[in-house]
Amino acid sequence: MWMGLLNKQPVAVVVVVDDDDDLGQRGHARLGHVLMDGFWWLILYLYIGVVDMRLSVLGTTKQSTTTRRLVCSPGAMTQTAHVAPRVGRRGSWRVNGVDVDRKGEEESAQEKSSWDDAGEDSSLFEDRVEMAIARAAAAQRSYSHFTQKQVDAVFKNAALEANMSRIPLAKMAVQETGIGLVEDKVIKNHFASEEIYNKYKDEKTVGVVEEDAVYGIQKVAEPMGVLCGIVPTTNPTSTAIFKCLLALKTRNAIVLAPHPRASDCTIAAAKIVHDAAVKAGAPPGIIGWIEHPSKDETFQLMKSPKVSMIIATGGPAMVHSSYSSGTPAIGVGAGNTPAIVDSCADIHMAVNYILLSKTFDNGVICASEQAAVVLENVYDAFRFEMERRGAHILSESDTEKVRQGLFPDGRMNADAVGKSAYELAQLFGLDGDITDHTRLLIAPIDHVGSDEVLSSEKLCPILGLFCAKTFDDALEIANNLVENGGKGHTSVIYSNNREHIEAWENTIQTVRMLVNMPSSQGAIGDLYNNLDPSLTLGCGSYGNTSVSTNVGPKHLLNFKTVAQRRENMLWFRVPPKVYFKEGCLEVALRELQGKKRAFIVTDKPLYDLGYVDKVVSVLESIHVHAQIFYHVKPDPDIETIQTGAKELSDYQADAIIALGGGSPMDAAKIMWLLYEYPDTKFEGLATRFMDIRKRVYDFPDLGAKAPLICIPTTSGTGSEVTPFSVVTDGATGSKYPLADYSLTPNMAIIDPQLVKHMPKSLTANGGIDAVTHALESYVSAYATDYTRGLSLQALHLLFQYLPRAYKLGPEDPEAREKTHNAATIAGMAFANAFLGICHSMAHKLGARFDIAHGLANALMISHVILYNATDAPYKVVAFAQYKESHARDDYAQLATLLDCQGAKATNSKIEQVVCLVKEVEKIKASIGIPTCMKDAIGDRVSFEEYEEALVKLAEDAFDDQCTGTNPRYPLIEDLRQMMLAAWEPLDYEAFLNEP
């Protein structure tokens, strides 16, 4: 600038204009008389530099004081520059007695050059921008410590002052931009202040804003920091008020980037809000602005690392720039709102609302209707009512003139933006009878596309008009309009037909779907609906924006979620009725009196041995007919279950009785489910879950058609009281443990008469299965005070009575009864605490090598105990109540409580665990369980075959439903190594010697 002055090149001079006091023009104009030599040139340079870089409103608080930059040369400055207030609606200026129309400025503003700094050194505007940001950041740091009460006081005072200035700001906006109507801009300013205040005055934006004491969740609101607010030329004051108020409510600072053609009024609005905020206690500088907006300065503001968020309202190019700036941004999308007028619409209301909306502020609202799509049978009535209310239907020739004049080069003519219908008619030279009372120009058109420019957005009171033969045609036209430049923004329908409205909802891709209301006023919210009031309207991913709602305070806050540790809700669920003691079968079954048809699920051996006859005899005595399904195999497969479910459905039973070991009871549970809900898919039932309460696949509640009564004839599975069922895929041989509390039987009958003559092998395998249930449920991550007592009592009974029941059988009825009870008690424990990896591996080993389930558990349980018994596992199961790994302590506690040999003689937890394992191995030996896998299957499976299968079995076991509650979360390789080690007898010394 200094070199420019020395060379007598044009320089920028700041001239202050006061509409009410000519002191500014008299004082500053005298500068021209003193610029006569180099010394004064230096003084002028210093003066202009300071003013140009620092100030926009000098030494006055009057709203009408503004700043203009005039390009002057030294020669010109030797004359007095008489500067008078602006005159005329177009915002002309009087300089040296000559009216300078702003039209040229408007035209050039559309070109890239209007955003340039006319060759100004980039470091100057960078300094200006950084200083504005620094001031705002310093103020925000102080403001961030304000309480909610202090913030609300600032918010209220700022809103009041902005509202009081709504008329002067509206006049100033129209004067400066030449766009829109003063009266409508008054309404927008009113909305931006009063409506926004009333909506958000009670909203918490400081500290804890949400709290759930039960679940231990708090949401804490924190400000983002310094915001960048891009302000458009179409809504220069209302948007500025809106963004400033939101910033104040959320304890943010904001720096506004006005449009070059609307900088004076935007800055005036910002200054009013700023001064009111400071008066209420906010730190000075909490609201800032770019003094002399240009594209480069706006980009510098957006890209600054000190800016936390951009709120971009403006043209597509500016919004796109905000998103590509590298700073988080909230932007608006372009609008091309279609309004469907259905056959059943209230035509008078539809016409009135469309006129109200499309003519509001001369059509510059981006949400305003761009085309009406009217059904054929009401088309003429719609046209008639439009003309009656002041609209003018364009002829074909005038429509073509509008096409050429409104989009002369494919882009909208800036001179047409925000002009009245009469002004547009003069601008385009239309022949129709259009007066200054004409409210709207309507152009009938017949298709949508790039070759029909009138089917795109028109920021003036010109409306496209389509005639649709059917509602489907109307939907297609409306959808095409949205696709043609309005995706995500807004659409409107005038209809009372629910089916039509639903079809429209499901077809049109806009985030604001307005029914029977004016689009401009409806989209901004609160006036005609309960949408959040806003002047920044997100368009979602449809319109390539980051939000799909009306922007409000929540979008300008960071929310910290403070989560207190909470243990999950726990439960204890068993069948409503459990009958036990010898002879309880008849008493319990008599509760079915009143039922008509009972479906009995069992297996062929039990049927042949006459066990079913005992049940049928009781049912006949209470006049209940019975049908028997005795085709259940060991490890029931899906095909058998589906066959049984079909017979059950054909029979239409009102009671289901499962009689047998685990297989009939497991099969009956799934038959029950398929009977009551035939559309159930097995794939869904087998879906794995992390938490049974939050599973993806929900089991329905059962029992509406028939209750399920389970009568065990073995002692071990516990299926009579559990929500579990193990089903085999006959095609692959894979076993699927299914779990859901809906599968819990309604009644369990534990009659020891039915197990008195169990063979030894069944006694051993069932009994050791129950031992495994009790051991795994005791140390499970889901174990509770309610389940551990059951697990412990089951182990007490099994350790004492299982060897006796095995050895003496029916000769020791006490041992039979106690073992039978223990199996059910262990079932109750693991029904609620779940199991662990011993069962995970047993499921896969049993299916692969045809090993009885109880035996497979017996061969793995000691290895699992030693694996789990560590204080520092590599991984621990993730469950809130399981605070730390304590499986070693649990096992050691069991060893002492069960009085395992040597457990009380040592204080070493590891040695106590070994004592427990030795006791388990002792019991296994007493009931004829092999010591290792080689002894169990080595006569038919080679070690090489066994080892080769373990890679796949380990992976399948890892994904078994039981793995998730094991106290030590295993690696797949850990599972493989355990199964590999099980081939040979257990090595205690190796465990004792581990570090």
Question: Higher confidence at residue 946 or residue 52?
Answer: 946
Higher per-residue confidence, 697 vs 152: 152
Query: CA nearest 353: which of 529, 567, 564, 128?
Result: 529
Q: Which two tokens stand for residue 21?
A: 């006091």
- pLDDT, one tens digit per residue, over 862-872 is 999 999 998 88
CA atoms of 881 and 518, how far apart (whole Å): 56
- Amino acid 509: pLDDT: 96
Sign of CA dihedral 825, 829, 831, 834: negative
- Say if residue 941's pLDDT is above 80: yes
- What tokens does 604 get? 């062929």
Please state, for a pLDDT cut of 70, what percent of the chain lies above it. 84
pLDDT at position 712 over 50: yes
**366 among known catalytic residues:** yes
Long-range contacts of 679-685 (CB under 8 A, 24+ apart): 682/638, 682/727, 685/736, 685/738, 685/740
Rounded to 10°, the helix 760-779/785-808 angle is: 160
Question: Average pLDDT of 982-988?
Answer: 90
Burial 410-448 (b: 16+ CB within 10 A, else e): eebbbbbbbbbbbbbbebbebeeebeeebbbbbbbbeeb
Residue type, 669: K
Question: Which of 530, 474, 536, 537 has its CA nearest to residue 510?
Answer: 537
Query: In which band, very low, low, confident or very high, does the pLDDT at 686 lie, cut at 50, 70 and 90?
Result: low
Number of Cβ within 10 Å of residue 973's Cβ equals: 11
Inform me whether the pLDDT recorded for 684 exceeds 80. Answer: no
3-state secondary structure of 617: helix
Mean pLDDT, residues 269-295: 95
Q: What is the pLDDT of residue 123?
A: 62
pLDDT at 692: 52
Tokens standing for residue 724? 């579990």
Burial 729-766 (b: 16+ CB within 10 A, else e): eeeeeebbbbbbbbbbbbbbbbbbbbbbebeeebbbbb
Query: Which of 32-46, 116-130, 369-383, 632-646 has the largest mean confidence?
Result: 369-383
Least trusted range by pLDDT, from 7-16, 57-66, 387-396, 555-564: 57-66
Question: What whole-number distance in Å separates Cα of residue 729 and Cα of residue 638?
Answer: 6
In sequence order, what are the beta bridge partners of 490?
Answer: 512
Supply 148's token pair. 């909610």
User: What's the pLDDT band for 48 if we cut at 50, 70, 90?
Assistant: very low
Q: Which is more confidently placed, 80 or 440?
A: 440
Taking the CA atoms of 385, 390, 391 and 395 in sequence, report the sign of the dihedral they define: positive
Mean pLDDT over all residues of the chain?
A: 86
pLDDT at 26 over 90: no
Contact at 8 Å (CB) between 924 and 936? Answer: no
Summarize pLDDT for 626-655 with one digit per residue, the tens: 999 999 998 888 899 999 999 999 999 999
Least confident of 17-26, 284-293, 681-690, 796-805: 17-26
What pLDDT score does 343 carry? Answer: 97
User: What 8-state DSSP symbol labels residue 160?
Assistant: H
- In sequence order, which residues have a C-beta less than 8 Å from that of residue 909 and are 6 or more positions away? 869, 888, 889, 892
pLDDT digits (tens, 9 = 90+) for 96-140: 233 333 333 333 333 333 344 444 556 666 788 999 999 999 999
Tokens of 607: 């049927």
Of 200, 205, 95, 979, nearest to 559 by C-alpha is: 205
- CA–CA distances in Å: residue 317 to residues 25, 332, 370, 560: 38, 11, 21, 33
pLDDT for 884: 77
Pairing of strands 11-17, 66-72: antiparallel
Distance (Å, whole) CA 817 – CA 828? 17
Residue 785 has pLDDT above 80, yes or no: yes
Q: What is the pLDDT of residues 134-161, one digit of tens each?
A: 999 999 999 999 999 999 999 999 999 9
Predicted confidence at residue 209, as pLDDT, reads 95
- Report the range of poorest mean pLDDT among 382-391, 676-685, 782-791, 937-946: 676-685
DSSP three-state, residue 233: coil
Query: What does the pLDDT read at residue 99?
Result: 36
Structural contact between residues 274 and 162, judged by C-beta atoms closer than 8 angstroms: no
Residue 843 has pLDDT above 60, yes or no: yes
Q: Is 232 exposed, middle or buried (0-12, 13-18, 19+ CB in 10 A)?
A: buried
| Nearest one of 569, 568, 621 to 598, comparing CA atoms | 621
Q: Pairing mode, if any, of strands 655-660 and 708-712? A: parallel
Do 836 and 868 contact (CB within 8 A), yes or no? yes
Catalytic residue of the set 72, 244, 265, 366: 366
pLDDT digit string (tens) for 215-269? 899 999 999 999 999 999 999 999 999 999 999 999 999 999 999 999 999 999 9
| pTM of the shown model | 0.72
pLDDT of residue 33: 36
- Residue 935 binned pLDDT confidence (cut-offs 50, 70, 90): very high
What is the spatial distance between Cα 261 and Cα 350, in angstroms, rounded to a whole number?
35
Q: What pLDDT score was predicted for residue 70?
A: 32
Work out the pLDDT band at 43, boundaries 50, 70, 90: very low
Percentage with pLDDT > 90 across the chain? 74
In which element (H, E) is residue 608 found?
A: helix 604-609
Q: Is the pLDDT of residue 822 over 50?
A: yes
Residues 310 and 319: their CA atoms lie apart, in Å, by: 10
Q: What is the DSSP string of 362-398?
A: GGT-TTSEEEEEEEHHHHHHHHHHHHHTTEEEPPHHH
